[in-house]
Structure 1
Amino acid sequence: MIRLIQQNVFLGIIIVALIIAIATYVVNKNKKESEETIVREFYGLGTIIRLRVDGKNGEKAIQEAVDRLNIIENKMSVFKEFSEVSMINKNAGVSGQEVSSDTFFLIKRAVEYSELSEGTFDPTIMPIVSLWRIGSDNPRMPSKREIERTLKLVNYEDIIINEKSHSIGLKHRNQAIDVGGIAKGYAADEVKNVFENHKINSALIDLGGNIYALGTKPDKNLWNVGIQNPFDTRGEHIGVISVENKSIVTSGNYERYFTKGGKIYHHIIDPKTGYPSESEVISSTIISDHSIDGDGLSTGVYIMGLEKSIKLIESLKGIDAIFITKNKEVYATSGIKNSFNITNTEFIYKDNL
């Protein structure tokens, strides 16, 4: 059994964390399968990427996917000084930055998810996240004054999108965008498109925990995906869903945090308060047709809270969710409930609110 687990690093220092354990037989099980099964693992987008492809064009498809991922990273990484996103941030409060269709599309979608989530997902949260430094070697608790002052810079409505000039800008100096909370979803979808163009019918795409299961396994069975137990070590799941042609993205508070004064401060920061979210939800998993939806929604619904989140997801076509609360209660939206089986008896299935 292979478990695919999120790494601790990513494109930027945005508010997202993802941990997913894949419980499925994806290693070459016999000689016939191994002849056409190609697995490549490498570092990219600030994380460990693992691509597994079955098909005659596998090697060529994977290489094209790697090239595509490199292009996306070079355009969107805040750690690359001359990336398009870095240039937007450098020009904040001064002028817009003309960008490629990739970056323009992604930031437009990020704003849409911000609107859907009532601002609980906000790509301009970078200045606040930088204050906390959670996940680094020296996390800190900012002062109330620091947070209040910096919160003035966090507002997705300050992103200026100019269709005519194909440019993106920010209204005020010192504002900054980090698309790390959505870029891996976009990248996973782009890899899927590359594979489909090469007539690949069976593949597993893992971008540091963003999972896309393309088609079925070579034996025609569905991919079995285990949802991480947020109270336990990596790779321990509470239940399993069986999927094909689906993305699975999880946000949880258990991957990056620090403790101060006996209190745990996790890395999922609420853009409205500037402090770690205190929602009753401790894990939110989005199952969707497109990985960008999972990335764009998983953190926002985590912060929104259970009732609002269930209502939102139920209103969106092709998107479902699984929520785990502090009380070890599990809620699943209607489209996925019959496909998800709890295997850990410590957790209880509850009817939606």
Structure 2
Amino acid sequence: MLKNKKIILITIIAVILLTLTGCSNKEEKIPQADDSAFLMDTLVQMRAHGENAEKAVEASMERIRELENLMSKTIETSDIYKLNNSPEMKIDINQESMKVLKKAVNYAEQTDGNFDPTIGALVELWGIGTKNPEVPSESEIKRALSNTGYQYLKLYDSSAEITRPGVKVDLGGIAKGFAAEEVKKVVENYGIEHAFVNLGGNVLVIGDKVDGTPWKIGIQDPRKDRGNVMAIVDAVDKTIVTSGNYERYFEKDGKIYHHIIDPKTGYPAENNLLSVSIISENSFDADALSTAVYVMGLKKGMKFIENMEDVNVMIITEDLDVYISSGLKDIVEIKDSDFNLIEGENFAD
């Protein structure tokens, strides 16, 4: 049975919570603009409050389209498509694409390859999220693994090169985070102090709500369908990005295969985790970190985040234990008694 969830509103259902919240008199007086579109292979939703709200939302959506055209692996005019289809050649790369490539390689190095932007051959092989996913043979996985490794991606001042034919770059685990940060710049340029954008579960809130209270971001219950919240995070000028094994997957012979591939084994990561949520001030970093920590697993992932400044994590295990890093104690509220909250900073020692 295939369960394809390309429109990933299951991970974080901030929009539902925000929509159901009633407007105060102050909110009713301030102009508000909303929009949604299918961009970067997901549903993007945005809201802004302020005199220039409509212009800010329109410009933000256009900015995301621009970045999609630069970094999509399927648009033939994009930097990434050209790079993937011209191995052993230096390809001129737009400055913004280069920022994402450099950040991706940096995190590959920091995480010992648990996050790897050259995982494209494995992603294509499994086809999870497409109409025809399949469990590859061991020989196919071995071949795709030989074509995976960030050491085969060379970055220069304004160009990049794939040094091994068959290696393919896939920025699906980081490009949306960069797009969210670009939206933040657009919104601030229009003088907007209250806004949110949801790029398929990558949620960024700007400022607080118009009534002065924090945005309420719901964390999806990974056992249930969309709309079921297991925790709420109070957020002001924060981003929340979640990677979960329930977002995109398929079932074969009674076994579930999810889309978070371990770059070292070639198989979906198996580490007793249901989801990892990164809470920080920067979506660019959080996007890559949510994937990396999921692949790392509980102990290594929690320790990795505790050693970072201004970055926090919530990890949900298959046993429904919820581990939170030290910075989340006062802003996370567990809403379902099935889950057991554990403060994870001591666990990481």
User: Normalised by the shorter chain, which TM-score bucket?
Assistant: over 0.9
The CA distance in 1 between the partners of 2:151 and 2:97, in whole Å, is: 17
**Given that residues 110 and 123 in structure 1 are in contact (C-alpha distance below 8 angstroms), is that contact kept between their aligned partners in structure 2?**
yes
Q: Deviations over 1:254-297 (max 9, x none)?
A: 12211222111111111100111101221000001110111111
Instruction: Deviation per CA, 1:81-130: give whole Å up to 9, x if none.
Output: 110111111112x2121111100000000011112221111111110111
Shift of 1:318: 1.4
Give distance in 2, aligned partners of 1:40 and 1:180.
22
- C-alpha contact 1:28 1:37 (8 A) present in aligned 2: no
The correspondence for 1:247, drawn from 239, 245, 255, is 239
Which of 6, 9, 24 aligns to 1:9? It is: 6
> Which residue pairs with 2:251 in the alignment?
259
Q: Distance in 1 between matches of 2:232 and 2:57?
A: 28
Q: Which 4+ runs in 1 deviate beyond 4 A?
A: none
1: CA distance, partners of 2:18 / 2:261: 36
2:56 pairs with 1:64 = no
Helix, strand or coil at the partner of 2:196: strand
Instruction: Spell out the pairing of 1:306-321 with structure 2 (5 A cutoff).
Output: 306-321=298-313
- Please list the CA deviations of residues 52-102 of structure 1 after superposition, one character each: whole Å capped at 9, or x if unmatched: 00000111112221221121111111110110111111112x212111110
Distance 1:40 1:32 in 2: 21
CA RMSD, Structure 1 to Structure 2 (Å)? 1.7
Q: Conserved in 1, the CA contact under 8 Å of 2:201 and 2:241?
A: yes
- Counterpart residue number, 1:79: 74
**Residues 10 and 227, structure 2, Cα contact 8 Å, conserved in 1:** no
Q: Which residue of 1 aligns with 2:206?
A: 214
Mapped contact 2:9–2:226 kept (Cα < 8 A): no
Question: Could you tell me how far apart the structure 2 residues matched to 1:203 and 1:28 are?
Answer: 16
Match of 2:94 in 1: 100
Q: Which residue of 2 aligns with 1:335?
A: 327
Q: Quick one: structure 1 residues 132 and 17, their matched pair in 2 at CA, closer, same or farther if it must change by over 3 Å?
A: farther
Q: Is the 8 A contact 1:17 1:251 kept in 2?
A: no
CA distances 1:116-149 after superposition (whole Å, capped 9, x unpaired): 2211111111101111111111111100011111
Aligned pairs (5 A) from 1:121-132: 121-132=115-126
Say which SS state the counterpart of residue 17 (structure 2) adopts. Answer: coil
Q: Which whole-Å CA distance do the structure 1 matches of 2:133 and 2:246 have between them?
A: 16
Aligned to 1:4: none
Aligned with 2:27 (options 30, 33, 41): 33
Q: Which runs of 5+ in 1 are unaligned?
A: 1-6, 11-15
Aligned ranges 1:1-353 → 2 under 5 Å: 8-9=5-6, 19-22=11-14, 24-26=17-19, 29=23, 33-34=27-28, 35-92=30-87, 94-163=88-157, 166-352=158-344, 353=347
Give the Cα–Cα distance (whole angstroms) in 1 for the partners of residues 66 and 226 of structure 2: 31
Distance in structure 2 (CA, Å) of the matches to 1:189 and 1:88: 24
Q: Extract unaligned runs of 5+ from structure 2.
A: none
In 1, Cα distance between the equivalents of 2:113 and 2:160? 19
CA distance in structure 1 between the partners assigned to 2:56 and 2:216 by the alignment: 24
The answer to which of 191-200 and 111-120 deviates more is 111-120
1:187 & 1:309 partners in 2: Cα distance? 25
How many residues are aligned here? 339
Assess, with a 3 A threshold, how the Cα gap between structure 1 residues 245 and 220 changes in structure 2: closer, same or farther.
same
Percent of matched pairs sharing the same residue: 39
Give SS of 1:80's match: coil
Q: Which is further off, 24-33 or 251-260? A: 24-33
Counterpart CA distance in 2 for 1:218 and 1:229 is 28
- AA paired with 1:58? A
2:97 match: secondary structure: helix
